[in-house]
Amino acid sequence: MREEALIPHIGVVTEIRQDTPDVKTFRVVTPEGEKPFTHIPGQCAMLSVPGIGEAMFSITSSPTVAAYLEFSIKKCGCVTDWLHQMEPGQQITIRGPYGNGFPVEGDLLGKDLLFIAGGIGLAPLRSVINYVRANRQRYGSVRIVYGSRSKDDLVDYREILEEWQTDESLEVYLTVDREQPEWDGHVGFVPSYVTELQPDPSQTVLMCGPPVMIKFTLAALKELGFADTRIYTTMELRMKCGVGKCGRCNIGSKYVCKDGPVFTFDQLGELPDEY
């Protein structure tokens, strides 16, 4: 029998970390204890709980991590509810990697990078950020603007505090939507924070977050003189097959699972507004 993309492999969840009240990060290996597959930052994988369903998640660990894959998953439906209530040692199924990923070995090489994330939108960007950190000399400056509803909703806050903020080759700008005790950082929404920071439009932007954040941040970036071709984002649409056949994620002539999920805004401009 030939290979069949739809038939998944077994994955074992070895570690579960509560990141925020509704986001957990899951570490997945094969039953033999190895990393299930190699990937490009920005690519996704289909995880399933047999009998509950299958869903697509972006891989949040960097390809430079040799031992496992990590997924930061927000609780928001049948499959994610189940994933959130399971315990380490649980087996699930995994297949992938799917999609194009960010051009870390292409267009992004040598560029000054500006990462802009909101809430769970950090998940796909974290893979790129850590990949860039591991290959630091091959990229220009790195700035990260990350915002969330509150301090508790900042995904990977510990890693941000302990690793990113102490890494002198990165500039990290955090913001929360509203004032709160024990927060002396910036307060305000991501789009206005970006405007405040007045980033240089020569940078390449990698952006991911809720639609409303994307909409207003895009407007802010264009105001600052950023070109659509220099702004990458990664999309999320309903997917069932992951291999460009089932038709769920079809927008115009593109299939997000196969032709995306990473697009520049000039590419998105050529698609119908159905995302």
Residues engaged in binding another protein (CB under 8 A): 1-10, 48-54, 76-78, 80, 87, 89-93, 211, 236-238, 240-241, 243-248, 250-253, 270, 272, 274-275
CB of residue 63 vs another protein: minimum separation in angstroms?
A: 21
CB of residue 89 vs another protein: minimum separation in angstroms?
A: 5
CB of residue 13 vs another protein: minimum separation in angstroms?
A: 9
DSSP strand pairing (262-264 vs 231-234): antiparallel
Give whichever of 62 and 217 is closer to another protein, judged by the CB atom. Answer: 217
Is the Cβ–Cβ distance between 19 and 59 less than 8 Å? no
CB of residue 23 vs another protein: minimum separation in angstroms?
A: 14
CB of residue 166 vs another protein: minimum separation in angstroms?
A: 34
Strand partners, 128: none
Give whichever of 87 and 184 is closer to another protein, judged by the CB atom. Answer: 87
DSSP symbol at 161: I
Is the Cβ–Cβ distance between 210 and 190 less than 8 Å? no
Give whichever of 81 and 162 is closer to another protein, judged by the CB atom. Answer: 81
CB of residue 115 vs another protein: minimum separation in angstroms?
A: 22
Instruction: Report CA-CA distances (Å) from 62 to 34, 59, 102, 118, 135.
Output: 15, 8, 12, 19, 11
Give whichever of 25 and 48 is closer to another protein, judged by the CB atom. Answer: 48
Give CA–CA dist 131/104, Å, rounded: 8
Give whichever of 7 and 66 is closer to another protein, judged by the CB atom. Answer: 7
Q: Helix H segments across 91-241?
A: 122-134, 157-159, 190-197, 211-223
- Phi, then psi, of 89 in degrees rounded to 5: 100, -15
Is the Cβ–Cβ distance between 101 and 262 less than 8 Å? yes
Give whichever of 182 and 273 is closer to another protein, judged by the CB atom. Answer: 273
